[in-house]
Structure 1
């Protein structure tokens, strides 16, 4: 028999993946967040129990089940129980060996198709294409992602600033606003730095739009972001893998560059003129 912890981990992954596949409301996200924190016990809870614990109405819990594709809550709860008990496999199929890290990443990359084709992506492009300068926020583990995107963004966009210092973040956001920025982009990977969430709130308080690349649509600050782009994170290694976030960010940049092809071409040609100064020539 599997331990309670392994049952909870399996059900956690299954429920997160299920939520990724469906559109849920902010209140329904609150219920899912409660359920994720209460596994595996919540698999045996009634709608009344879940509603009271999550601080929502009983109909909200029932509507969540239908939003996730089930006829009603009893069927949804039964599915959770099956996953917890191991009598049915999670969404990767029955009787299949646990996927390798590469297979997981393929699933994560496949999930990007929904994000790239979404209205959220279109909204993000509209907001970011209209801002100059562009600020890219990334703290802690997200700093590397912000620097990576910023390096390439400077080749095709005229005024890019990477904000990766929490101590100076307030001043940096304020300076962006004073220089005419109308939107900011943030990488907010787990665990979510409080300073990043505060920076997004500060930007919005100044009238700037906010775009965030996150690992899950269930992030607690989802309602404070104008465009939420989901790039699932690989969690099966010692450290998280952000392959999907890298692909999504470069796809976003490619689409931004395509918004003004003439400018993009001019900036790329200017960059190419500098290549000979630093590129190692073959002998």
Structure 2
């Protein structure tokens, strides 16, 4: 799968000059729309020269600014594409192999590229935040990703106290933020087509001084502007629907890391939960 312009920028960021980093910041601030104007407009907005823009897009592997903009337009089209249009575009170039193999190959590719883009230091920092019981944790998702947010909430609730699931589809979701304090952690899942409710949630959380963790797709939700940490997960597969396998992988890995960071506490809470299960006879026992 081709790298997005955003992924290319992040990959070469450490090799950029001061002016190029300034330019990169402008591009990423309102990505990809920020790069769709003229080269002169982008240079002026970034406070750099037009030749600086031309040099940097070549560093990213594009032949020039027109090719860079064409890539951005393709990404923007991909972001706003609905399920029916997605299926029609894919089927034109569908391979002959069985769907089991084609789909699995796509998912494995997504996993490889996603893991390659996750900075271990940022992952560890987020795991430490989630393990810190002095901070409350709030978790939210969207129309599709609410299932992932519920999954993360269910497991973190066993590991630690003060974990709350925010149902952003409800008119009552602002109530959940009444107790949000500076330093608390807000985890938000948001993939294309990005939702206004989760964006507003992120804006409020940032205004309250919370630490926001965004789990999003390769094009990156607008929530990134308000996030302290953002993990970009590959989601494209040969289907009308996007795949959330990589988001689930990242979520389960975070759960494992948080569990290990506070194992004694986790073990005690697991034991107490099992006693409650036994008392309520929720699960069958065969011995």
| TM-score normalized with structure 2 length | 0.71
Deviation at 1:27? 2.0
User: Deviation at 1:216?
Assistant: 2.3
How far residue 67 of structure 1 moved from its aligned partner, in angstroms, is 4.5
- Preserved contact between residue 203 and residue 210 of structure 1 (Cα < 8 Å): yes
1:279 corresponds, among 279, 283, 287, to: 283
The runs of 4+ residues in structure 1 deviating greater than 6 Å are none
Task: Tell me the distance in 1 between the aligned counterparts of 2:141 and 2:250.
Answer: 15
User: Who is 2:26 aligned against?
Assistant: 27
Match of 1:109 among 69, 88, 111: 111
Say what the alpha-carbon RMSD is for the aligned residues. Answer: 3.5
Matches within 5 A, 1:92-171: 100-130=102-132, 131-165=134-168, 166-171=170-175
Listed as ranges, the gaps of 5+ residues in structure 1 are 1-12, 39-47, 85-96
**2:179 matches 1:175:** yes
Change (3 A) 1:104 1:172: same
Q: 1:14 to 1:117 in 2, by over 3 A?
A: closer
1:202 aligns with 2:204: yes
> Residues 76 and 224 of structure 1: is their aligned pair in 2 closer, same or farther, counting only changes over 3 Å?
same
Q: Deviations over 1:68-115 (max 9, x none)?
A: 2x3x7449949x79xx9xxxxxxxxxxxx6982211110111123234
**Offset at residue 282 of structure 1 (A):** 3.7
Question: Contact (CA 8 Å) 1:156, 1:267: kept in 2 or not?
Answer: yes
Q: How far is the alpha carbon of 1:248 from its aligned partner?
A: 0.3
Q: Distance in 1 between matches of 2:183 and 2:265?
A: 19
Q: 1:242 to 1:222 in 2, by over 3 A?
A: same
CA distance in 1, matches of 2:223, 2:9: 19
Cα separation, partners in 2 of 1:105 and 1:21, compared to 1, 3 Å: farther
Local SS of the residue matching 2:271: helix
What is the number of equivalent residue pairs in this alignment?
A: 243
Partner SS state of residue 2, structure 2: helix
Match of 1:65, SS? helix
1:253 and 1:60 map into 2 onto residues whose CA distance is: 43
Correspondence for 1:89: none
How far apart are residue 65 of structure 1 and its match?
2.1
Describe the SS at the equivalent of 2:186.
strand
Distance 1:258 1:29, change over 3 A: same
Cα displacement string for residues 38-83 of structure 1 (whole angstroms, at most 9, x for unaligned residues): 7xxxxxxxxx944547966634532442452x3x7449949x79xx
Can you give the 5+ residue segments of structure 2 that lack an aligned partner in the other structure? 14-23, 75-94
Distance in 1, Cα, partners of 2:52 & 2:219: 18
Q: How far apart in 2 are the matches of 1:107 and 1:28?
A: 27
The answer to whether residue 2 in structure 2 is matched with residue 14 in structure 1 is: yes
Kept in 2: contact 1:216–1:232 (CA 8 A): yes
1:252: how far off?
1.0
Deviation of residue 129 (structure 1)?
A: 2.8
* 1:45-64 aligned within 5 A: 49-52=38-41, 58-59=50-51, 61-64=53-56
Equivalent residue runs for 1:213-228 within 5 Å: 213-216=215-218, 218-228=220-230
